[in-house]
């Protein structure tokens, strides 16, 4: 069995949270450029150009892409043949977040009690989802999830009889309701199936996919394309100023469901789709 010391995890997470906030993924940047070539709105093009300039400044000067440096969310794949030594995995990830946000001068946005609203002062605790997989590696996926876009989240326990048309109507209504609030152009994450909490997790998980990737299931891939087209016909546009670039992509994840249920969750990401990955 392979051993991995927590110090390595802490150092890696510290770097991930800083790089994620300073260096926007090339998939998102390329999506901005592609949108710029097709956007017909003058204001929309102006916004996209400003977003690209902001990406360049943040990367060059290593300053945050956005003042909201996000809730640290991790999807972790832990190999069953890997033994973590020197401490616990969750503690190591949280220590990496603590150091990364402190040493990177990133805004601390987490309150320890949701009703008392006292800031924890170090952006911990993180949200950590762990999946046990084969092998002896540790794969960590990080996203900095902003509060504005997270607030534009929706979940509905639909009736199976609502069918695919009902699902599409619900997703489009969610985007219309969100409007400019999640700082478009957005990525629309959708989870269909499972239970109440599983659908929400699937919606979040879908946002970790690179922009432009499609579901391996042909019918779901077609649904993603159809919804992307319909979302971009809503006319919300970049930052809500109007235009055809409301969303950069729509990602859908599905899971088996109970015969009596059709859960659908929508989790929206803002234009700053910050995500990083590391394998140890």
Q: pLDDT (tens digit, 9 = 90+) per residue, 205-261?
A: 999 999 999 999 999 999 999 999 999 999 999 999 999 999 999 999 999 999 999
Contact (CB, 8 A) for 179 and 257:
no
Q: pLDDT (tens digit, 9 = 90+) per residue, 122-154?
A: 999 999 999 999 999 999 999 999 999 999 999
Q: Which of 73, 57, 74, 50 is nearest to 22 (CA)?
A: 57
The model carries a pTM of 0.96
pLDDT value, residue 99: 98
What's the pLDDT band for 4 if we cut at 50, 70, 90? very high
Q: In degrees to the nearest 10, what's the CA dihedral of 107, 112, 117, 123?
A: 0
pLDDT value, residue 265: 98
Nearest-Å Rg of the Cα atoms of the chain is: 19
Cα dist from 233 to 83, 118, 172, 223, 247, whole Å: 50, 41, 10, 15, 10
| CA–CA gap between residue 53 and residue 68 (Å, rounded) | 18
């Amino acid at each position: 069995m392979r051993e991995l010391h927590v110090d390595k995890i802490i150092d890696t997470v510290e770097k991930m949270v800083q790089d994620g906030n300073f260096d926007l993924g090339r998939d998102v940047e390329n999506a901005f450029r592609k949108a710029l070539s097709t956007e017909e709105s003058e204001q929309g093009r102006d916004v996209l150009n400003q977003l690209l300039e902001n990406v360049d400044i943040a990367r060059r000067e290593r300053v945050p892409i956005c003042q909201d440096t996000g809730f640290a969310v991790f999807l972790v794949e832990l190999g069953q043949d890997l033994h973590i030594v020197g401490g616990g995995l969750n503690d190591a990830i949280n220590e990496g977040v603590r150091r990364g946000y402190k040493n990177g001068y990133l805004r601390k946005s987490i309150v320890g009690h949701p009703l008392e609203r006292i800031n924890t002062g170090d952006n911990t605790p993180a949200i950590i989802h762990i999946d046990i997989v084969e092998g002896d590696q540790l794969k960590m996926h990080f996203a900095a999830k902003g509060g504005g876009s997270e607030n534009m989240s929706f979940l509905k326990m639909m009736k199976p009889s609502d069918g695919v048309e009902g699902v599409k109507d619900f997703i489009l209504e969610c985007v219309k309701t969100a409007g400019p609030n999640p700082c478009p152009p957005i990525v629309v994450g959708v989870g269909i199936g499972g239970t109440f909490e599983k659908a929400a997790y699937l919606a979040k998980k879908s946002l970790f996919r690179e922009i432009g990737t499609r579901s391996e299931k042909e019918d779901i891939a077609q649904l993603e394309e159809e919804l992307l087209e319909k979302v971009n016909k809503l006319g919300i546009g970049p930052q809500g100023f109007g235009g055809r670039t409301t969303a950069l992509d729509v990602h859908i994840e599905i899971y088996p469901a109970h015969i009596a249920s059709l859960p659908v969750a929508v989790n929206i990401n803002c234009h700053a789709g910050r995500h990083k990955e590391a394998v140890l």
